[in-house]
A and B are shown apart, each in its own frame.
Chain A
Amino acid sequence: AQSVTQLGSHVSVSEGALVLLRCNYSSSVPPYLFWYVQYPNQGLQLLLKYTTGATLVKGINGFEAEFKKSETSFHLTKPSAHMSDAAEYFCAVSESGNQFYFGTGTSLTVIP
């Protein structure tokens, strides 16, 4: 069975500070892993994904994530937060590629 756990439903960081959003997954086979961002009243936008190959994945807007199989984690990071990063972030896992399982989301607030 697949599932995703996002630790921390709300995260606040100061502008310019490191962003770290945590995601742990469970999967019976090597998974595909995704991070999506959702701005208010908008659809989900893909930030980055891991399918195979390099475990450090770079995405849009300066975000990156590292797949750590031993820790079953796929944490999202950004070295320096911008005000425009304030949004809801969802981690998702897929085994088949035809169905995503999403976490409950982490709301990121950036403090000026």
Chain B
Amino acid sequence: GAGVSQSPRYKVAKRGQDVALRCDPISGHVSLFWYQQALGQGPEFLTYFQNEAQLDKSGLPSDRFFAERPEGSVSTLKIQRTQQEDSAVYLCASSLRPVRLNTEAFFGQGTRLTVV
């Protein structure tokens, strides 16, 4: 597609419910990032994939958070047993190559998760 697509755009979950957030990166992009943006804050890194390999998951806040990219394209961020502090906008970004090789990361519009 023309850009990074995320679905759903909005998700309301009851506390304790599991959720799955989807990211469709730009076709052919090697790198994929997930970020969490709390209200009034900057995005915070969650995890990074290069193709299907999850090279960095140091930002995942707990073992309730899990991300996968099994075929090196679409990625899913799963949050188990959601809690109120998980409420945030979850941003996905992709880049053609690792950003240090002078390419830019393109961000999706995000999924706004509200846990009630």
Contacts and interface: CB of A to CB of B under 8 A. Distances in A.
Interface residues of A, number: 24
Contacts of A102: 35, 42-44
Contact of A90 (B42, B56, B105): B42
Interface residues of B, number: 29
Contacts of A101: 45
Contacts of A49: 104
A92 B101 CA distance: 17
Given A43-B4, A43-B91, A104-B42, A97 B48 contact: no
Interface string B34-50: 01000011111100101
A44 B43 contact: yes
Interface in B76-116: 91, 93, 98-102, 104-110
B2 interface: no
Given A43-B109, A44-B91, A45-B107, A32 B99 contact: yes
Contact of A100 (B40, B105, B109): B105
Main secondary structure of the interface of B (DSSP, over half): mixed
Contact of A98 (B4, B41, B98, B107): B98
B31 interface: yes
A84 interface: no
Interface string A13-49: 0000000000000000000100010000111111001
A42 B41 contact: no
Contacts of A90: 42-43
5 contacts: A4-B42, A94-B100, A98-B56, A101-B45, A102-B43
